Structure 1
Amino acid sequence: MKNIFAKVRFMAVLIGIIAAFMIFTCTRPSREKQIVAFVKENEPQLTDIAQNMIDGDLSKKTFKKAKMDGVFRNSESEEIVQFTYTGKGIVPASKYYGFYYSPSDQPQAFQNVEVNLEAENGYWKWHDEGDNGGITKKIGNGWYYYEAWF
């Protein structure tokens, strides 16, 4: 009889752990929602940091959860200030999530790589050599969310 109660107790604990995990993963905001909220909550400070970086002050390396990647310019002298929020994997199977500031308020690819952006359902997609690619989406005035994979 003790054996049956032990098995029932074990199953109840196991079901509880699985249910808690499912609730946590289902209610946790997506990376995109987390990043959009972060940018909107910190937009004045982030805009100041981005403008300072464009003006040549590269002394700031992080802001809260975001890492400053730098200022990236393309051949048309369009520039973006890119921030990485999170990432996973190692090359050649890695994915980065973040945001960038575009003073011209134009969507760009990861690190301002010169590729064609294709508009689709509120996002812009890009593809580069091999399986490299990404998406970007407007957050607000001059600010964009990005995902990039390599």
Structure 2
Amino acid sequence: MKKPIVVAAVCILCAIAAAGFLYTAVFQKSGAKADIIEYVQTNQEALEQFATGLLADPPGVTAYNEEWQISWYPAAGMVEFITKGSGVGSATAYEGFYYSEDDRPIGFQGTEVDFVWDDTGWSWEETDGDNHERTERITARWYWFQMNF
């Protein structure tokens, strides 16, 4: 009689452990920033051709590698790749990378913001709100970013 209870308990514990692993692997991808940096460094030449082509003659595409949403802002000289988005409404966060034609930090969606430099990158915080952005240089003309609303 105790054997079925032990087997059921072990099965439940295994299911909980598997669900925890799946949640961590799929939803929390803690290496997103490192993955982005590695991707840009590895594929810089192809990315640069793609970005400069978009700024010169936009073909109307809205995705890169059928995975990441892209937007381009010719006035700012920026092409933005959103690799991760989460949340709803005022609790939304975006992460990705962007091409900066002038090799300078640019705010989310090509916005000019007053970034403040620290030891590893630039930060911006909205004066009368909770919006904030972090950006760091990956390599020449390429930057990682995280924007929180």
TM range (shorter): 0.7 to 0.9
Matched to 1:9, the amino acid is V
1:21 and 1:40, CA in 2 relative to 1: closer, same or farther beyond 3 A? Answer: farther
- 5+ residue gaps, structure 2, are none
- In structure 1, which of residues 99, 114, 117 is the aligned counterpart of residue 115 of structure 2? 117
Normalised by the size of structure 2, how large is the TM-score?
0.81
- When you count strand as a share of all residues, which structure comes out higher? 1
How far does the alpha carbon of each residue in 1:31-66 deviate from its partner, in whole angstroms, 9 at most, with x for none?
Answer: 212222332333222111110122132423221122
Say whether the 8 Å CA contact 1:81–1:102 is kept in structure 2. yes
- The answer to whether 1:135 aligns with 2:137 is no
CA distance in 1, matches of 2:121, 2:4: 53
Q: 5 Å matches for 1:12-91?
A: 12-23=10-21, 25=24, 29-64=30-65, 65-71=67-73, 73=75, 78-91=76-89
Matched to 1:112, the amino acid is G
Say whether the 8 Å CA contact 1:58–1:70 is kept in structure 2. no
Aligned length: 144
Which deviates further from its counterpart, 94-103 or 11-20? 11-20
Moved over 3 A (4+): 17-24, 26-29
Which deviates further from its counterpart, 58-67 or 44-53? 58-67
How far does the alpha carbon of each residue in 1:10-33 deviate from its partner, in whole angstroms, 9 at most, with x for none?
Answer: 222233234345555379552212
- The answer to whether 1:106 aligns with 2:107 is no
CA distance in 2, matches of 1:137, 1:71: 19
Q: Percent identity of the aligned residues?
A: 26
Normalised by the size of structure 1, how large is the TM-score?
0.80
- 5+ residue gaps, structure 1, are none
Matched to 2:100, the amino acid is S
